[in-house]
């Protein structure tokens, strides 16, 4: 949810609450709308246990990715502090269960269609608390150029930052082992390397943990 306008930026059903699923969810929002100044979350462990505003080292993959993209991460210190989004969750939970039942949903694809329809309906509904229509507030701020959004970086940098990282030992024959398979990589003097991993999709092998640019790539593989 956008805190200024109140529109629902994105929503999706997932099978598990994982870092990778959050990366996919936020990537969709970033590519569609742009990069925000800050993201406000609860204290779920995968988000990291503390705010990144104190400039300390990232505590999680999620905080590491946000910092690389120049996004501040703010953690709600109490249930009251995150009341706005919790109320929105409550609204969705009450309505979506009823809508899915009424539509006799049996597949994830059908469920997502219903969710997206409800997302748009709420964005077009005048809010009782403000008397404003969220999508109108959003569109007006875009026209007035008061939105604090930056264009999303190029695909290669999103691939780099919105990824999981793993260290791997280099075997004597210049191969690495990953998920039960052996992969040949380019020759390197390094005894260990870093995997940039998109689960069930692809991974890259690089010489060292990346910063804001891609290190030398020793191999790229599809899964």
pLDDT band at 105 (very low <50, low <70, confident <90, very high): very high
Token match 């990953």: residue? 178
Between residues 176 and 93, which one has the greater pLDDT? 176
pLDDT band at 88 (very low <50, low <70, confident <90, very high): confident
How many other CB atoms are there within 10 angstroms of residue 25's CB atom?
A: 16
Nearest-angstrom CA–CA distance, 220 and 117: 38
Q: Is 186:219 a contact under the CB 8 Å cutoff?
A: yes
pLDDT tens digits, residue range 47-83?
Answer: 876 655 555 556 789 999 999 999 998 887 666 667 7
3-state DSSP call for residue 78?
coil
DSSP code per residue over 91-105: HHHHHHHHHHHHTT-
Nearest-angstrom CA–CA distance, 127 and 125: 6
pLDDT tens digits, residue range 110-151?
Answer: 999 999 999 999 999 998 878 999 999 999 999 998 888 999
Map out the domains of the chain with their CATH numbers. 19-144 (3.30.420.10), 163-222 (no CATH)
What is the length of the chain?
223
pLDDT at 76: 74
pLDDT at 77: 63
Residue 105, CA distances (Å) to 18, 121, 202 in order = 24, 19, 32
Kindly report the pTM of this predicted structure.
Answer: 0.88
CA dihedral 18, 23, 29, 30 (to 10 degrees): 160
Token match 């991460």: residue? 73
186 backbone dihedrals φ, ψ, rounded to 5°: -65, 155
Token match 């505590």: residue? 59
pLDDT tens digits, residue range 11-50?
Answer: 999 999 899 999 999 999 999 999 999 998 877 778 876 6
Residue 105, beta-bridge partner list? none
Nearest-angstrom CA–CA distance, 48 and 67: 12
pLDDT tens digits, residue range 158-197?
Answer: 999 999 999 999 999 999 999 999 999 999 999 999 999 9
Nearest-angstrom CA–CA distance, 203 and 65: 17
């Amino acid at each position: 949810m956008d805190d200024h306008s109140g529109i629902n930026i994105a929503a999706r059903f997932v099978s598990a609450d994982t870092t990778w699923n959050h990366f996919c969810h936020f990537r969709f929002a970033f590519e569609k709308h742009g990069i925000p100044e800050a993201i406000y979350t609860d204290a779920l462990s995968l988000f990291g246990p503390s705010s990144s505003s104190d400039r300390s080292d990232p505590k999680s993959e999620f905080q590491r990715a946000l910092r690389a993209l120049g996004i501040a991460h703010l953690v709600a210190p109490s249930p009251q502090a995150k009341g706005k989004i919790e109320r929105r969750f409550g609204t969705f939970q009450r309505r979506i269960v009823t809508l899915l039942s009424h539509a006799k949903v049996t597949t994830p694809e059908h469920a997502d269609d219903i969710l997206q329809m409800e997302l748009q309906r709420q964005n077009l509904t005048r809010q009782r608390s403000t008397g404003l229509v969220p999508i109108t507030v959003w569109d007006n701020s875009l026209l007035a150029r008061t939105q604090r959004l930056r264009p999303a970086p190029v695909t290669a940098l999103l691939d780099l930052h919105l990824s999981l990282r793993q260290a791997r030992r280099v075997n004597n024959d210049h191969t690495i082992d990953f998920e039960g398979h052996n992969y040949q990589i380019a020759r390197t003097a390094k005894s260990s390397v870093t995997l940039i991993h998109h689960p069930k999709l692809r991974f890259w092998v690089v010489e060292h943990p990346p910063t804001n640019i891609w290190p030398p790539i020793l191999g790229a593989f599809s899964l």
